Amino acid sequence: MTTQNDRPAGRRTGRRPGTSESRDTILRAARQRFAEHGYDGVSLRSVAKTAEVDPALVVYFFDSKEGLFTAAMRDALPPETLLDEVLAGPVEECGQRLVAAFLQRWETEPTRDKLRSILRSAVSHAASAEVVRGFIAEEVLDPLAKTLGGDNPRVRAGLVGSQLIGLALTRYVIEIDPLAGVDAAHLARVVGPTVQRYLTGELP
């Protein structure tokens, strides 16, 4: 039976020319290429060459380079799972749960390598940064802010996004001390109240 992972985004018909294993191979190659060459320096053909598959298979699964980059992010940071974790508890503690869940993914291999390759591409290339911002805002933070019911959900989502991306950049990519060495659970307790205020507190 064909699963959701076996199908490319935006396509639901036609003979499946590849397997979920082929899809995973393409995603691994894409993350490698994006990390080494940035978003602008990667083409679907170059990813296909690295993955040793037909370029048509990359198009079949992902449609476009943006679709491929977004799929790589979704693979590393599944929004549905993250939202379920954040919303599973008292509203007044969702900020800490969000930071804890976010850090937990960065603390775990192979997810850390997946996220690091994406973030390195984003900070060095404007096009990939735009895709990352759109993914985090539209698929994770906008739905969270709207579910919590606060005013100005897009502003709240943007503030939370700036906090999380900045935290990941300084801790896991640039590795600035002492932030890089602080225990993740402790860091979630420290940063959580700030994220909570962004999500549900009064904004000036």
Q: Which residue bears the tokens 């079949």?
A: 60
Q: From CA 26, how far away is CA 61, in angstroms rounded?
A: 9
Last-in-domain residue among 20, 41, 68: 68
Last-in-domain residue among 17, 47, 68: 68
List the one residue out of 80, 140, 77, 70 whose CA is nearest residue 103.
Answer: 77
In Å, what is the CA distance from 198 to each residue of 26, 105, 169?
A: 37, 22, 20
Residues 169 and 121 placed together within one structural domain of the fold: yes
pLDDT at residue 2 in the model: 40
Residues 147 and 186 placed together within one structural domain of the fold: yes
Q: Which DSSP state fits 4?
A: G
Q: What is the count of structural domains for the chain?
A: 2
**3-class DSSP state for residue 52?**
coil
Residues 62 and 122 placed together within one structural domain of the fold: no
Q: From CA 141, how far away is CA 156, in angstroms rounded?
A: 8
pLDDT at residue 48 in the model: 94
Range of lowest pLDDT (33-42, 75-84, 168-177): 33-42
**Domain extent at residue 108:** 77-200
Residues 49 and 84 placed together within one structural domain of the fold: no
Residues 42 and 64 placed together within one structural domain of the fold: yes
Q: From CA 8, how far away is CA 16, in angstroms rounded?
A: 10
Q: Which residue bears the tokens 């005013």?
A: 151
Residues 114 and 61 placed together within one structural domain of the fold: no
Q: What CATH code is carried by the domain that includes residue 109?
A: 1.10.357.10
Residues 192 and 92 placed together within one structural domain of the fold: yes
pLDDT digits (tens, 9 = 90+) for 111-127: 888 888 788 777 777 77
> Residue 77 pLDDT more than 90?
no
Region class of 152: left (phi > 0), else alpha (psi between -120 and 50), else beta: left
Residues 117 and 178 placed together within one structural domain of the fold: yes
Residues 61 and 104 placed together within one structural domain of the fold: no
CB 164 within 8 A of CB 99: yes
Last-in-domain residue among 68, 90, 112: 68
Residues 88 and 168 placed together within one structural domain of the fold: yes
Using a pLDDT cut of 70, give the percent of the chain over it: 90
Residues 94 and 50 placed together within one structural domain of the fold: no
Residues 144 and 87 placed together within one structural domain of the fold: yes
pLDDT digits (tens, 9 = 90+) for 162-183: 899 889 989 998 899 888 999 9
Q: From CA 173, how far away is CA 59, in angstroms rounded?
A: 30
Q: Cα angle at 66 between 61 and 70, to 5 degrees?
A: 75
